[in-house]
Chains A and B, each alone.
Chain A
Amino acid sequence: MTARDVTVPASKPPETPEVDEARTARPGRGLPFWANPRLGLVVVTAALVAIFGSLRPAFFNERLTIVPLLADVSVFLIVGLAQLCVLSLGHMNLAVGRMAAISAFVTGWAYTSLSVPLYVGMVIGLLAGAAVGGLAGLIIARTGVNSFVVTLALDFALLGLVTLLYNSVTGGVSFAVRPDGMDQLRNDTFGDYCAGDWCGPSAIPLVAPLGLIAALVVGYVFRYTRLGRELLMTGSSERAAQYSGIPTGGRVVAAHAMSGTLAALAGFLLAVNNGAFSANIGEGFLLPSFLAPVLGGTLLAGGAVSVLGTILGATLTQVIYKGLNLLGFVLDELKIYLGVVLILALSLDRLRVVLAERRGVRP
């Protein structure tokens, strides 16, 4: 029996007038232009930039503000992407910060003990992140325990582990090493690289492309690859996914491993920006990891992600940070405003979803 022995009826079945008219309603109209979440983010960001700029012209100073801002955006974009990977499943990764920390440790150790070049160390760190993330995914897939609990427990376990490791290996909390190229990666902008008379934009730090590449890869995975689609389907309905032949266990591991890898990348970039691989890498990752994707329209329930939204969300978050910083707010006070922004953004998003549902369109 060959593969094509079974034939599907080529002719349409007899007319079955639709009994349930209500469901196949009029074709959904698109969302009104103003309700599109990405546009909303762009508008708010632009408005804030204008406001901060007028209050503190130093906001537009390349060296003082723009370059560090873009560097931070790169880091926190990747942090947001790390969370996005598991949000696609409807999971959470509460250990993003610690995964970054432990990967940073492995990288720092590689530089110190193995004297590897800059990017080799980075790759080693990424592998460590993938391993830890994969472990979390494996536990979740095998035991069926809620990702919240597993990653929360993992976060605490790693917290202890990271401090212990730094203490025992470095006798302190950071590695003193500085591999070749790190200073350049940290300090240079494209303006420092010239081909003849034409120099690159000096407003863009050298680390920015890493964030962009990460975003492009993640976006590509979710939009075009089988892996990405199967992740989204698993997030939509795990049982239906299982019955459709999707190896959900493997996909869970893959998503969490991706999350760990991105967390490691973010940790690496942060360490480069700070100038040192230390135990407190990843400390402030948790809230931004949710803020960026959620602001950008990624659903907590799984089944839908937006990389573009995450980019915009990360940008908006950092603009707020930097702006308020310039205005004299201390980090702890900033926290108040960040929390408020998150609630406001989510309320608006809720409104958007309600409107979309009323029009029968996918929000």
Chain B
Amino acid sequence: MSTVLPPADPTGAPPALRGETARRFYRTSEFSLAVISVVGFCVLAVATDFNLLSGGTLGAFFRFLAVPIVIGLAQMVVLGVGQMNLSVGALTGYCAMTAASLMVEHQVPAVLAVAVAVGLGAFVGAVNGVLVVVTRINGFIVTLATMTILEGLRYGVAGSGTLQGYSPGLQRLGGASLLGVPVIFLAALGVAGLVAFYFRRTVSGRSLLASGGNPFAARLSGISNDRSLVVAHTLSGLLVGVASVLVVAGSGSVNTSIGDDLLLPSFAAPIIGGVALTGGAVSVVGTVLAAFIIRMVDVTQAQFDIDRRWVDLVVGVVVLGAVLIGRVREAVAARMRGGAS
């Protein structure tokens, strides 16, 4: 039995270098996305004879990037606690229709209608969260059910009609640009910044990630996993509400099909952005860059008149590839850590 205290341990068994490498490793995902974004953008610009950089085209490019960014963030938030939200699309449509209906059919001022849309989104999100916690049913099924309910409710707002001609003020804001950059895109970036701050610097956000990363350890430390689930779903719904406002402001009209094409992009952005399906980590930068890349693919499709369906195919394949790369990375990291027995 040794009676001499061992010397203070310098850096532990694996060399400090491994820690550096691990940190660099994580950044690699966002870094490579940034590289792809920049390179891709340049290539696209060249391929369109620099048309892409002209005022109107560039503006349109960013304008239609706003909603996918916010929707991607809405999905990212629940992915962070290891959940999924299948209702993002239908909820966007429902909130958008409700806001439009309030303005068109009930003469509600735009500001109030916007507040209602956001609040409605948050409310539905909270309902999702509470259902998941109380019934302990898989979030996939719960949001599949609420998605179906919302599709029905969405239809119920105005049937198969179209709502348009609401609040010129809101529409002007939707079409406005600040120094050439569309306002709604700036709004989306602002939202992204807030979300990033939330997850990086607030106790609530860190608690969410703790619950997602290791629910057992979180619980032992006094963090309520149930609360994290509800907060995550509510936040997701809130972001969807914001997205619906962007939709209403950005387009001139809304109908019952709004949101139908948002489900896959809502997953594609965070997944390609490096967010794991198992929860515990989020990446706002990755999600935004991934949305950017997806937008570039869209523009390429329109520019070269490629059939829309090929785009869907490609996006599907890329999502698969991203998850694959994520798994490979996990495996390599595990091997680096050791763990033989």
Contact = CB atoms under 8 A, between A and B. Distances in A.
Q: Do A and B come from one complex?
A: yes
Interface of A: 92, 139, 143-146, 148-150, 152-157, 159-161, 163-164, 286-287, 290, 294, 300, 330, 332-340, 342-343, 346-347, 350
B173 to A, nearest CB: 31
Nearest to A342: B145
B144 A160 contact: no
B147 interface: yes
Contacts of A343: 131, 135, 137, 142, 145-146
Nearest to B278: A146
B317 A157 contact: yes
The list of the 8 closest CB pairs from A to B, nearest first, reads: A160-B309, A336-B152, A339-B149, A332-B155, A335-B152, A153-B316, A339-B148, A157-B316
Nearest to A144: B327
Nearest to A332: B155
Contact of B153 (A92, A336, A347): A336
Contacts of B144: 286-287, 290, 342
Contacts of A350: 135-137
Contacts of A330: 155
A91 B307 CA distance: 32
Nearest to A165: B309
Contacts of A294: 141
Contacts, number: 119
16 contacts: A143-B324, A152-B267, A153-B316, A153-B319, A156-B264, A160-B309, A160-B312, A161-B313, A287-B144, A290-B144, A294-B141, A332-B256, A336-B153, A342-B145, A346-B135, A347-B135
B30 interface: no
A335 B149 contact: yes
A149 B323 contact: yes
Contacts of A346: 135, 137, 141-142, 145
B299 to A, nearest CB: 18
B309 A340 contact: no
B320 interface: yes
B148 A145 contact: no
Contacts of A152: 264, 267, 316, 319
A153 B320 contact: yes
A126 to B, nearest CB: 24
Interface residues of B, number: 42
B335 interface: no
A154 to B, nearest CB: 7
B320 A149 contact: yes
B135 A156 contact: no
B315 interface: yes
A163 B309 CA distance: 8
A154 B316 contact: yes
Nearest to A92: B140
Contact of B315 (A156, A335, A340): A156
A164 B309 contact: yes
A155 B267 CA distance: 13
Contacts of A155: 316
B195 interface: no
Question: In this complex, which of B137, B145, B319 has the most chain A Cβ atoms within 10 angstroms of its Cβ?
Answer: B145
A198 B8 CA distance: 95
A58 to B, nearest CB: 24
A145 B152 contact: no
Nearest to B90: A335
B310 interface: yes
Interface in B122-160: 131, 134-138, 140-142, 144-153, 155-156
Nearest to B324: A143
Interface in B97-136: 131, 134-136
Interface in B261-307: 264, 267, 271, 277, 307
Nearest to B134: A347
